[in-house]
Amino acid sequence: ISEGSLPVRYLGLPLLASRLSHMDCKVLIDKLMSRTSSWMSNILSFGGRLQLLASVLFSIQVFWCTSFILPVSITKECDRILRNFLWHGIGNTKKCGNVASKVCRPKDEGGLGIKDCRAWNKAAIMKFGSWSWRNILKSRSVLEHKILYEVADGNSFSLWFDPWFFGESIAGLYGYSVIQDSGIPTNAKVSSVI
């Protein structure tokens, strides 16, 4: 067997030993561009282009989004290609479409259901673990500032294990020995000490 070198491709994706670069993603951009230029999109209606975008083009980028943390420049380029295809019928036009923000809302809210590539990439990487686990853990900070705890009567919070105490759990802050020393059961609720 002859010695090879990275990157190699498996299922169309690059296998890398380092961070994904802009050049590694050129295949994704080229695939999107070839699809948008190969279709007879000038004779398609807006609805036809929207259907192709939702079923084919978005699937190509989702395949990459669920496998890698894409560089920001690539996600912007993917959005640009899809936007240009939807509004003008080709992916490499220099013209811009006047897009209202409600177009990107879900269909049940009156939008077209088109998803932003960057947001989709962040959501997709939060559900798997791999070489990018450290970056996934960094994305927790996006959500932790959005969580608010309201103790109220305390019947729905575990005294020891829920993060009701300044965003931390008692057991997490002081260890399990504080549970044993207190004599209060491990299944106690916050209401038991209010």
Q: pLDDT tens string for the chain (194 positions)?
A: 777 666 666 666 776 656 778 888 888 899 899 888 877 666 788 888 888 888 888 888 888 888 888 899 999 999 888 888 888 877 676 666 555 556 777 788 888 888 888 888 888 877 766 556 667 677 777 776 667 777 888 898 899 998 888 778 899 889 889 999 999 999 999 998 88
Instruction: With CA atoms as reference, report the closest residue to 54 among 121, 129, 104.
Output: 104
Please check whether residue 66 is in contact with residue 42, taking contact to mean a CB–CB distance below 8 angstroms.
Answer: no
Please check whether residue 76 is in contact with residue 29, taking contact to mean a CB–CB distance below 8 angstroms.
Answer: no
The Cβ of residue 160 has, within 10 Å, a number of other Cβ atoms equal to 22
Please report the pLDDT score of residue 21 as a whole number: 80
Task: Tell me the whole-structure pTM to 2 decimals.
Answer: 0.57
- The first and second tokens of residue 96, run together, are 């811009």
Distance from C-alpha of 184 to C-alpha of 178, rounded to nearest angstrom: 9
